[in-house]
Amino acid sequence: MSLRGGVGVVCALIAGLLPLSAAAAQASTARSEPLPLERLFDNTAVSDDTHPEAADFDGSGASLSATDLTAAGWRPGAALTVQGATLTWPDRAPGEPDNVVADGQDVRLGGHGDALAFLVAGTTGEEVSGTGTVAHTDGTRTPYLLTAPDWRTGPLATKAVALPHINTPDGRLTERARLYVVTVPLATDREVASVRLPRAAGLHVFAVSVRTGTLGWTGSWATATGGNPAVGPWTDRTLRLVVHTSAGGTGVRVRFDNTFASTPVRIGSATVAVQKSGATPKGTPVPLSFDGALGAGIPAGAQVFSDPLGFPVPADANLLISFHLPGTVPTAPSHRLAQQRSYVSEPGNHTAARSATAFSPALNSWPLLGAVDVSGGPGSVVLLGDSITDGDKSTVGANRRWPNVLASRLLAQDEVPHYGVLNQGISGNMVVSDRYPGDGVSTDQAGVSALNRFDRDVLDRPSVRTAVVFEGINDVRWGATAEQVVAGLRQLAERGHAYGLRMLAATLVPCEGEARCTAAVDAERTELNTWIRSTDAFDGVLDFDAALRDPERPSRMLPEYDSGDHLHPGDAGLAALAESVDLRMLVP
């Protein structure tokens, strides 16, 4: 069963609708005590390039290259944070057992969190799934479904890392080897005691952990990585990025993402400050630390969080996040359409600079920076969308995207919590198709599909309460049918519900007059909107179509809301979208 096809089963299992049989429960009591995962390793996946015969990952003698793993920053014993969960790459030498084939083993594990994270890969030629159980300290057990894509044929769009070679006894193959981080939901009110792996031939587990980092934080600002484009190259430069907060707080942490990359990147040092104007901060920027150090290396495909810092973050304000890149950075995972001017310095570490003298306004994107979280707070609302959510055609530097206006509305009232609002729009993004394949240097930064980025752009955000899905117009403009988009939206709703999220869908706004918005496209849009308004797959509907359409000509936007290209609303139209939202709908 695939992950997408099995989400409904997962929801039913978690809800207790499909309880474990009495026989299975009795069998569980007869097992031995759970052991740390590394004591259960029974397969060798990694070989030295000079001795490929020492490993046999898939039964045919093929294996991962230790040299390639090291080049990606995946060294033995390295801590890897992916999708908000920290996992440890096995601390084993090449040719030693470094993973377990899932066969019902009981793994010792502990902690509270919102998800279990598994570092996995399949070796059957297709994705492999199985059902395991989580044992809690209160004596209860909860089933989960784990799916591992194949290490040679799985999607690059969702991989944690891809390596350039595969070792075989007959020589090296120039073929991409993939490893994946897959999460499954946990009940946050119960502590984990152990995890029973599924029985699934060909499902290999390298590491497992409880994801705890999403608890106790509220997302204030975030962006979605759309690709891995060529930059600079930057050597010994400081980037000073401007971001706009939603929720405020008394403490802060910052997340840097190396998503899609094939090599590590080094953050030499980093600071946070409130912006005064341009690249000038109010006062002296405050240093961030990483596990107590001034800087951090980020392995390929991974991320890093700064340590919690007592720093008052004002709501609805601009921050300056500065970070020094001591090495040469030729490509960087980025969000292309920032609608905000940021800065690159002359050579040197200028993270603590109190003036703008060293900086030039050279950036219209957000490279490497993923999120700003504040301590405590009521949690966040995530807006998953395309260019309209991204703020295309809004006034640059004015923070007039509809997510910004929505955040301001939340702060100005007391009827519902002052949620953080996280803009996860990517210009050009689609629900069911990848614009960027998820690997290599980007020529297109419209991202992987909403289906393929949902886990890392929605589910791994801190304390998410509600997600709004406002996508689909690019799908139908480029030939997808309403039926195909509906299938994708159903999957997103099911996956969000499995994690306990309130899921809202927004209708698509009209775009008559834009070159690709033909009468046939509008018919698909209308059919899709009809489904959104009538479905019970989502918990509610934001009728953005009704908010912007011309009553005299419903296939087009009201002229006063049109930016001029007939596809994107201007500032007034974006404000109308945010003003149309009943804030009570955001409350779970």
CA dihedral (166, 168, 171, 173) positive or negative:
negative
- CATH number where 427 lies: 3.40.50.1110
**CB of 547 within 8 A of CB of 560?**
no
Helices (H) and strands (E) in the chain, counts: 11, 38
∠ CA 134-121-335, nearest 5°, is 95
Does 272 map to a domain? yes
Q: Give the domain range for residue 207.
A: 7-211
Does 240 map to a domain? yes
∠ CA 410-415-418, nearest 5°, is 35
DSSP state of 38: G
Residues 180, 42 share a domain:
yes
Give me the helices (H) in 92-186, please. none
Residues 333, 314 share a domain:
yes
The total domain count for the chain is: 3
Phi-psi region of 513 (alpha: psi -120 to 50; beta: other; left: phi over 0): left
**CB of 542 within 8 A of CB of 506?**
yes
CA dihedral (534, 537, 541, 545) positive or negative:
negative
Residues 417, 302 share a domain:
no
Enumerate long-range contacts of 514-522, CB under 8 Å, 24 or more apart. Answer: 514/477, 514/565, 514/566, 514/567, 516/477, 516/478, 517/477, 517/566, 517/567, 519/555, 521/476, 521/477, 522/555
User: For residue 233, is the peptide bond before it cis, meaning its omega torsion is within 30 degrees of 0?
Assistant: yes
Residues 359, 386 share a domain:
no
**Residue ending a domain, choose from 341, 369, 397:** 369
Helix (H) or strand (E) holding 459: none
Instruction: State the SS3 of 488-504.
Output: HHHHHHHHHHHCCCEEE
Tell me the C-alpha distance between 8 and 24, whole Å.
22
- What does DSSP say about strands 318-331 and 166-168: parallel, antiparallel, or unpaired? unpaired
Does 222 map to a domain? no
Which amino acid is it at 393?
Answer: K
Q: What's the confidence (pLDDT) of residue 215? A: 84
Q: What's the confidence (pLDDT) of residue 111? A: 93
Does 221 map to a domain? no
First-to-last CA distance in the chain? 30
Q: What's the confidence (pLDDT) of residue 31? A: 58
Residues 166, 68 share a domain:
yes
Does 360 map to a domain? yes
Buried b (16+ CB within 10 A) or exposed e, 246-278: bbbbebbbbbbbbbbbbebbebbbbbbbbbeee
* Model pTM score: 0.93
Residues 236, 122 share a domain:
no
Q: What's the confidence (pLDDT) of residue 14? A: 40
Q: What's the confidence (pLDDT) of residue 15? A: 39
Residues 540, 456 share a domain:
yes
**CB of 85 within 8 A of CB of 462?**
no
Cα dihedral 531/532/538/544 (nearest 10): 180
**Residue ending a domain, choose from 369, 401, 435:** 369
Lookup: tokens for 78: 């390295």
Residues 392, 361 share a domain:
no
Burial class of residue 405 (count of CB atoms within 10 Å of its CB; 0-12, 13-18, 19+): buried
Could you please report the per-residue DSSP string of 225-254?
--B--EEEEEEEEEEEEEEE-SS-EEEEEE
Does 304 map to a domain? yes
**Residue ending a domain, choose from 369, 394, 414:** 369
Q: Is 421 helix (H, G, I), strand (E, B) or coil?
A: strand
Tell me the C-alpha distance between 335 and 227, whole Å.
7
Could you please report the per-residue DSSP string of 364-418?
SSEESEEEEEEESSS-EEEEEESHHHHTTTSPTTS--SHHHHHHHHHHT-SSS--
Does 219 map to a domain? no
Lookup: tokens for 458: 């929605």
Tell me the C-alpha distance between 317 and 145, whole Å.
42
Q: Which residues pair with 309 in a beta bridge?
A: 252
Tell me the C-alpha distance between 435 and 565, whole Å.
22
Residues 315, 202 share a domain:
no
Residues 202, 116 share a domain:
yes
Those residues of the chain that have pLDDT short of 50 are 1-30
Residues 175, 305 share a domain:
no
Residues in the chain: 588
Does 220 map to a domain? no
Lookup: tokens for 254: 């910052």
Tell me the C-alpha distance between 108 and 113, whole Å.
15
Q: pLDDT tens digits for 424-435? A: 999 999 999 999
Q: Is 16 helix (H, G, I), strand (E, B) or coil?
A: coil
DSSP strands (E only) in 149-198: 161-163, 166-168, 171-173, 177-185, 192-196
Q: pLDDT tens digits for 169-205? A: 999 999 999 999 999 999 999 999 999 999 999 999 9
In order of 217, 416, 462, 579, the CA distances from 378 in angstroms are 9, 10, 10, 21
Residues 275, 197 share a domain:
no
